[in-house]
Amino acid sequence: MDIFRNMKGSHGITPQIVHYGCVVDLLGRAGSLDEALDIIKCMPMEPSDVIWGALLAACKIHKNEKIATQALDRLSESAKGKTGIQVLLSNIYASAGKWSDVANVRVHMKEKGLRKVPGSSSIEVNGVVHEFTSDDKSHPEKAITDSMLQEMNCRLRDLGYVPDLTNVLQDIDKQEKEFLLSRHSEKQAIAFGLICSDYGMPVRVVKNLRMCSDCHSFAKMVSKVYDREIVVRDNNRFHFFRQGLCSCHDYW
């Protein structure tokens, strides 16, 4: 914030909208949502949908429905009509346990023909690309992958791993949430990679969406327990997991 405030006075650089966007994103991720909102209100230019979208995403992370509503109101109609924004809004309501509002968003999406992109993860083994999805039961190696996942979950739980059920945004019971969480596509791809690659070789996975926080914690522990480097490229950045740590320092 000192660097941002001194841009013009010390360096003669007038902050542009991209600089404000970075600051809003940084404050939002850090949980300083009120401060981020104050920055937006004091901007010398009209905030763009990207600015409000960054604040809305931060509200999802920190479960702040109040500020999320303000951000949503300021988004343009074209932005509100995008699938990503509607999914984000649905997730915010789900985190707050407002299932009727979640249902309304889903009805709206259906009426507008908007479809959520299903999460998938891919891994290449011996020149063949294997793709996994959370609800896919067709993979020919599903049985051994499920068995490996069960072993991984047992070993990690013995070391203190507790599934973060807040990542399952559905109105179902705890047991169902744990099962769905354990079958996230990147976990399946990592399990398959551990089975099919030689010891010491990195396990490289590509995911089409952002990793959830539970899968991120899971991958960190797997890298330590199995002494393997795990690389996951989600739609935001590369994650290099080594010995229980990630290159992103848990900030993505």
Same domain (yes/no): 235, 144? yes
Q: Looking at 112, 145, 179, which one is the last position of a domain?
A: 112
Taking a C-beta distance cutoff of 8 angstroms, is the pair 34, 41 a contact?
no
Q: In a 10 Å sphere around its CB, with 0-12 CB exposed, 13-18 middle and 19+ buried, how is residue 243 labelled?
A: exposed
The 3-state DSSP composition of the chain as helix, strand, coil percent (nearest 5) reads: 55, 10, 35
Which tens digits make up the pLDDT trace of 102-113? 899 889 888 888
Position 107 in a domain: yes
* CB neighbour list of residue 83: distance below 8 Å, 6 or more residues apart: 109, 114, 115, 116, 117
Say if residue 97 is in the same domain as residue 129: no
Does the pLDDT at position 167 exceed 80?
Answer: no
Name the domain boundary from 89, 112, 135.
112
Number of Cβ within a 10 Å radius of residue 190: 31
Distance set, CA 7 to CA 17, 30, 67, 70, 249 (Å): 13, 22, 28, 29, 27
Q: What per-residue confidence (pLDDT) applies to 93? A: 85
Q: How far is CA 125 from CA 21, 172, 183, 203, in A?
A: 40, 35, 20, 9
Our count of domains for the chain comes to 2
Q: Are residue 146 and residue 195 in the same domain, yes or no?
A: yes
For the segment 117-148, what is each residue's pLDDT rounded down to a tens digit? 888 999 999 899 999 998 777 888 889 999 99
**242 lies in the same domain as 148:** yes
Q: Is 73 inside any structural domain?
A: yes
Domain carrying residue 192: 120-246
- Do 32 and 128 sit in the same domain of this protein? no
**Does one domain contain both 157 and 228?**
yes
User: What local confidence, expressed as pLDDT, does residue 165 receive?
Assistant: 85
In the structure encoding, which two tokens stand for residue 33, read together? 């949502």
pTM of the model as a whole: 0.80
Asked whether residue 136 falls in the same domain as residue 179, the answer is: yes
Say what the pLDDT of residue 194 is: 97
In this structure, the answer to whether residues 215 and 104 fall within a common structural domain is no
Specify whether the CB–CB gap between 5 and 42 falls below 8 A.
no
Name the residue among 114, 118, 71 with its Cα closest to residue 92.
Answer: 71
| Same structural domain, 97 and 126 | no
- Answer with the one of 112, 139, 172 that is the final residue of a domain: 112
Rounded (5°) CA angle 32-38-39? 90
Q: Same domain, yes or no, for 140 and 156? A: yes
Residue 252 lies in a domain: no
- 189: number of Cβ within 10 Å: 26
Q: Are β-strands 120-125 and 203-207 bridged in parallel, bridged antiparallel, or unpaired?
A: antiparallel
199 falls within a domain: yes
Q: Is 78 helix (H, G, I), strand (E, B) or coil?
A: helix
Same domain, 32 and 131: no
Give the domain CATH number at 95: 1.25.40.10
Q: Which residue has the tokens 């507790």?
A: 162
Same domain, 44 and 107: yes
